[in-house]
């Protein structure tokens, strides 16, 4: 956030190091391995994914290799979709923006859950065993409820955006959870999470932040948090998602003739 402020203030060039004083770049050969270790540490040590059948839609993007490797190592039975990136097919009729094919595959293969990531891997949309789409709002509700029951929901607060479904606010009220709303965008969600010292926040699109583990959205990490609730509760996702009843909602992008620079609206 400080970097963004510097860029917008136009002070950044004066603070940059000259070329002759720059360090050297090097390639981290085991970046994916280290990332997998990090992800595993976010999952309860006494649990694994044995007995769970998962369909993964990796959107021909960033998660195409790490996600299948991780879930195999955690003993899940997996089926993969869209794991052949060619530089042009990323997000092409697949991933979290197009979960229809994933839903069909989950039902056809009698899987327990479907997980759809977006191209850069920071978003998750799930599918329950009946083929129903489980939105970001529902994932947030499921995970927040579990955190509250375990006494781990700091300040009893969850941060969401103004585009979240009204049903989420109603569900939180029934659960006795305080719901703070902010502008759309994970940067604003994080700002409010820091302000209120909240451990979970996110958007219906599937950008969800678990601040005890990360300060940005991570689709695979979010999937692990959702799966940990399923394992701990020993309930199917369709049952867990009943805690929130969504209301009819229409979101429309309005075309305008003139677009003022974004920084004028902040």
Give pLDDT, residue 204. Answer: 95
What pLDDT is stored for residue 132 in this prediction? 98
Measure CA of the first residue to CA of the last residue in the chain; give whole Å.
13
Domains in the chain: ranges and CATH: 31-41+49-243 (3.40.120.10)
Beta bridge partners of 56: 80, 115
Average pLDDT over residues 107-123: 98
* Structure confidence at residue 130 (pLDDT): 98
pLDDT over 80 (residue 266):
no
Residue 173: both structure tokens together: 């009220």
Q: What is the dihedral of CA 210, 215, 216, 218, to 10 degrees?
A: -50
User: pLDDT (tens digit, 9 = 90+) per residue, 158-203?
Assistant: 999 999 999 999 999 999 999 999 999 999 999 999 999 999 999 9
Tens-digit pLDDT profile for residues 198-207: 999 999 999 9
Taking Cα atoms as reference points, which of 71, 189, 210 lies closest to residue 140?
210
pLDDT surpassing 90 at residue 216: yes
As a whole number of angstroms, the distance between CA 216 and CA 118 comes to 15
Distance CA 74, CA 50 (A): 7
Number of helices (H), then strands (E), belonging to the chain: the values are 10, 9
Percent of the chain scoring above 90 in pLDDT = 80
Collect all residues with Cβ–Cβ distance below 8 Å to 39 and sequence separation of at least 6: 66, 70, 220, 221, 224
8 Å CB contact between 122 and 216? yes
Q: What is the 3-state secondary structure (H, E, C) of 56-125?
A: EECCCCCCCCHHHHHHHHCCCEEEEECCCCCCCCCCCCCHHHCCHHHHHHHHHCCCCEEEEECCCCCCEE
pLDDT digits (tens, 9 = 90+) for 242-260: 999 998 887 777 788 877 7
Answer whether residue 262 shows pLDDT above 80: no
Statement: residue 261 has pLDDT above 80: no
Rounded to 5°, the CA angle 16-20-24 comes to 90
Going through the chain in order, the beta strands assigned E by DSSP cover 53-57, 77-81, 113-117, 124-127, 133-134, 157-161, 178-182, 200-202, 208-210
Least confident interval from 19-28, 62-71, 75-84, 221-230: 19-28
Beta carbons within 8 Å of 71's beta carbon, 6+ residues apart: 49, 54, 56, 78
119, 166, 259 from 216: Cα distances, Å: 15, 24, 28
- Residue 14 pLDDT greater than 90, yes or no: no
151 Cβ neighbours under 8 A, 6+ residues apart? none
């Amino acid at each position: 956030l400080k970097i963004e402020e510097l860029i917008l203030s136009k002070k950044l060039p004066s603070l940059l190091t000259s070329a002759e004083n720059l360090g050297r770049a090097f390639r981290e050969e085991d970046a994916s391995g280290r990332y997998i270790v990090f992800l595993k540490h976010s999952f309860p040590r006494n649990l694994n994914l044995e007995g769970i059948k998962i369909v993964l839609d990796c959107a021909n993007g960033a998660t195409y290799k790490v996600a299948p490797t991780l879930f195999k190592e955690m003993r899940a039975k997996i089926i993969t979709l869209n794991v052949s990136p060619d530089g042009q097919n990323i997000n092409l009729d697949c991933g979290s923006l197009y979960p229809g094919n994933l839903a069909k595959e989950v039902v056809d293969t009698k899987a327990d859950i479907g997980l759809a990531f977006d191209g850069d891997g920071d978003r998750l949309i799930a599918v329950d065993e009946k083929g129903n789409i489980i939105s970001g709002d529902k994932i947030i509700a499921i995970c927040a409820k579990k955190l509250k029951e375990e006494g781990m929901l700091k300040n009893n607060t969850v941060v969401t955006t103004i585009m979240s479904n009204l049903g989420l606010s109603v569900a939180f009220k029934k659960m006795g959870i305080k719901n703070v709303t902010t502008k759309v965008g994970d940067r604003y969600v994080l700002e409010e999470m820091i302000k209120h010292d909240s451990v979970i926040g996110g958007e219906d699109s599937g950008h969800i932040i678990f601040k005890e583990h990360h300060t940005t959205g991570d689709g695979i990490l979010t999937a692990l948090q959702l799966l940990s609730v399923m394992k701990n509760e020993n309930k199917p996702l369709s049952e867990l998602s009943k805690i929130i009843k969504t209301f009819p909602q229409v979101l429309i992008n309005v075309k305008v003739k003139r677009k003022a620079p974004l920084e004028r609206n902040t």
